[in-house]
Copies of this chain bind each other. A is one copy, B any other.
Amino acid sequence: MNEFELIARIVPGLPVNDQVVRGAGDDCALLDLGLKENLVLFKTDAVVEGVHFTAETTARKVGRKALARVLSDVAAAAGTPVSCLVTLGLTKKFDPDYVLEFYEGLNELAREYYVSVSGGETTRTTGPFFVSVALIGTVPRRRMITRAGAKEGDAIFVSGELGGSIEGRHLDFEPRIKEAQWLAENFSVRCMMDLSDGLAGDLRHILHASKVGAELLSAAIPISRASKLKAKTESSAKPPLLAALSDGEDYELLFTVSSKDAVRVLDGWKKQFPKTKLSCIGKITGQPGLRLRDGAGVRSLPAHGYTHFEKS
């Protein structure tokens, strides 16, 4: 049983109550606590030394990344982050200076996004250093976005460039909070998520939740310079397109809008965020499954993507 199979077994039995608008299975949980205009977003995310960063990563970058990951999930819901709690798993021989520097990186990003760090705890572990960040945010009820709204004919968009994040971007990416809020304010965004497990794998979550399929245009998929460079210099590296489809930790926005809005979205984005690429990479289809179109025709993309427990 892999991670996804296990989660599929667990999720149907999880207790719900009247406050749950959207529970397990989306980027953030959505709760109705009785606020007139807003729903509450709730999200946690953990990073572990040796998995999400190495012993050589500076503590400042680890702190930044630990918070940036949950902010990226809030972005996926077009929400506003409010407050976080930080849990640190430290060994008995922990270095206080490392922890202080970790907080410098985390606090700096928190201030940038007006997020309070309202506590948390340290706990002891005999294993690698780990961090879990829990975050509360808000999102206007009227513009709640989940993974489940994609419709046949929708245009599929992705921000930024994909693949090769492991070369450095995973430590200093900017969560797409502003971009997502702008999209949600100005367009009818049908569904949105942030890319964490790779485009092909993550898009499948949208297709599954929305009960649709998709056809991607191979030539339209934005490939990062890091992926291209790696493919050139390392003989064992993935071909760049495969890296863009399957590498994890892109932290870019993946969303769909009605095809009639597609050009307006592209034009508006270019004016609003001239430094960040936005690509229309394909369309939602009534036919289930994920397909890739290139010069040679259309072929089915087998289920892959980054599975935490399959890579070591």
- Report A's interface with B, CB cutoff 8 A: 1, 3, 5-7, 9-10, 13-17, 19-20, 22-26, 29, 31, 33-35, 38, 40, 42-48, 50-52, 82-83, 85, 87, 89-90, 92, 94, 96, 99-100, 103, 107, 110-111, 114-128, 130, 132, 134, 136, 138, 308-309, 312
A100: chain B residues within 8 A (beta carbon)? 6, 9-10
Residue of A9, A17, A51 with most partner-chain B CB within 10 A = A17
Q: How far is the CA of A181 from the CA of B165 in the complex (A)?
A: 49
B50-A17 in contact (CB<8A): no
A87-B126 in contact (CB<8A): no
Minimum CB–CB distance from A127 to chain B (whole Å) comes to: 1
> Do A107 and B48 contact each other (CB < 8 Å), given the known contacts A7-B122, A83-B31, A92-B309?
no
| A2 nearest in chain B by CB position | B96
Residue of A47, A51, A111, A118 with most partner-chain B CB within 10 A = A118
Minimum CB–CB distance from A125 to chain B (whole Å) comes to: 5
Which of B29, B111, B116, B126 interacts with A85 by CB under 8 Å?
A: B29
Minimum CB–CB distance from A77 to chain B (whole Å) comes to: 12
Q: How far is the CA of A46 from the CA of B119 in the complex (A)?
A: 13
With A45-B87, A46-B87 given, can you name 19 additional A-B contacts, CB distance below 8 Å?
Answer: A6-B100, A6-B122, A14-B116, A15-B107, A16-B116, A16-B118, A19-B82, A25-B119, A26-B119, A31-B116, A33-B136, A34-B35, A40-B40, A42-B83, A42-B85, A44-B134, A46-B89, A94-B309, A136-B136
